[in-house]
Amino acid sequence: MSRHIAVLLGGLSPEREVSLNSGKACADALRRKGWQVSEIDAGRDLAARLAEINPDVIFNALHGQWGEDGRVQGILDTFGAPYTHSGVAASALAMDKHRAKAVLEAAGVTCPKSVLVNRFEAAKAHILPPPYVAKPNAQGSSVGVVIVAKNANRPPEILGSQNWPYGDEILVEEYIPGRELTVAVLGARALAVTEISPRTAFYDYEAKYATGGSVHDIPAGIPKNIEKMALEQALIAHNALDCRGLTRSDFRYDEKNNLLRLLEINTQPGMTNTSLAPEQAIYAGITFDDLVEWMAENAHVPCDTTGKIEGQGP
């Protein structure tokens, strides 16, 4: 008898559309592998929906707030079935960019200098000397990222707008010039280094998810010592935050000054046809279907036989 897996997709965040695409691709892959698949568009009735169908395993293909920040993981811990990706603590920490940086730097990962401020303060005057980056502290996929140019007289007005939907905590971060790199980690293995050349002004939401929005070069054409450093730093970041399954760490490489900086770690990378982690898996000899099944088969079991919640470490 085939195993029954629930694929969570959609959800409540601004990244809903990407999650719908990721979830559909993963559900189709699991069906091709012989799994019985139920797709759940995850809303606030998620616990009741799971109890209704009682799956053996849960594949969490949600992105962004609620689905990726520890809140859904708390529901899944309570439900008790094995689920993919990181647990409550790792998910919540990785989504909080400011606190995640403190942990990563303590583990020896080099990140850009940054300050956590209220967005209304960031809208009044430059917090850091331009150029710098202002971004929501708890969003993913480059949602809400603002680049402040070197010659900017004042911060962009959007930071103080009543229409700003991304929360009031803003991370103001030094701008690192140079090349965009990323590394996927699968279990205990850093897969490869990809260089991303966006067709937009920077690697924003459109560049990440629109067809043709960016060019991906794998392996990246960078010095061997930088490649080695990126692979090592991504694995350190994955372990320092106590992540599980698949993660992706994004870097900037300042070629002129030979500096590598980790921008952030994503605990639930995109699984669409333009996504970076599946591309790296294929480069490493792992087909998309095999990648998705590996994630399902290695899903985290939240409780032991006594009902005690297990740690999230490897």
Judge whether 68 and 86 are in contact, CB under 8 Å. Answer: no
pLDDT of residue 311: 36
Residue in the structure block whose two tokens are 């899944």: 76
Rounded to the nearest integer, the mean pLDDT of the chain is 90
> DSSP string covering 236-250, please?
HHHHHTT--SEEEEE
Read off the pLDDT of residues 58-96 as tens digits, 9 standing for 90 and up: 999 999 888 999 999 999 999 999 999 999 999 999 999
CA distance 129 to 171: 14
| CATH class of the domain defined by 114-174 | alpha beta
Tokens matching residue 14 = 């601004």
247-271 tens-digit pLDDT: 999 999 999 999 999 999 999 999 9
Average pLDDT over residues 244-249: 97
Handedness of CA 234, 235, 240, 241 (dihedral sign): positive
- Tell me the two tokens of residue 28: 């189709």
Domain ranges in the chain are 4-85, 94-111+177-294, 114-174
CA distance 208 to 20: 15
| % of residues, the chain, pLDDT over 70 | 90
Closest alpha carbon to 144 in 212, 64, 44, 73: 64
pLDDT at 65: 84
Q: What distance in Å separates the CA atoms of residue 289 and residue 278, rounded to the nearest whole number?
A: 10
Residues annotated as catalytic are 15, 141, 209, 248, 250, 264, 266, 270
* 4-85 is classed CATH 3.40.50.20: yes
Please state which architecture CATH assigns to domain 94-111+177-294. 2-Layer Sandwich (3.30)
Residues 6+ apart with CB under 8 A from 237: 104, 107, 109, 247, 249, 262, 265
